């Protein structure tokens, strides 16, 4: 494995699946300005996810419509200008 190509600044963050309102702790280098309190009372950076393995139809076996980006555009296209 090549040396010095992986980030060294991993930190503990809260990942939150907003479609299920479920959270878990993990490690990440992703930047975020939001923070959230974990069950132990400590504040961690918060990374919001629209879909995760907890809500994805492939992993759950249930079909669920998760469309957050196109609803307004569809409404405007259908009902007026």
Within a domain: 34: yes
Within a domain: 4: no
42 pLDDT above the threshold of 90 = yes
The residue ranking higher by pLDDT, 25 or 72, is 25
Question: Per the structure, how many domains does the chain have?
Answer: 1
What distances in angstroms separate CA 23 from CA 16, 38, 44, 47, 76, one per listed residue?
A: 4, 9, 12, 10, 34
Confidence of residue 41 (pLDDT cuts 50, 70, 90): very high
33 pLDDT above the threshold of 90 = yes
* Host domain of residue 47: 11-79
């Amino acid at each position: 494995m090549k040396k010095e190509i992986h980030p060294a600044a991993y930190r503990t963050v809260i990942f939150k699946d907003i479609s299920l309102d479920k959270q878990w702790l993990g490690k990440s280098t992703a930047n975020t300005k939001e923070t959230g309190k974990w069950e132990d009372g400590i504040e961690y950076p918060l990374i919001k996810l629209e879909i995760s393995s907890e809500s994805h139809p492939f992993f759950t076996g249930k079909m669920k419509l998760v469309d957050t980006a196109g609803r307004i555009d569809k409404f405007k296209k259908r009902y007026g200008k």
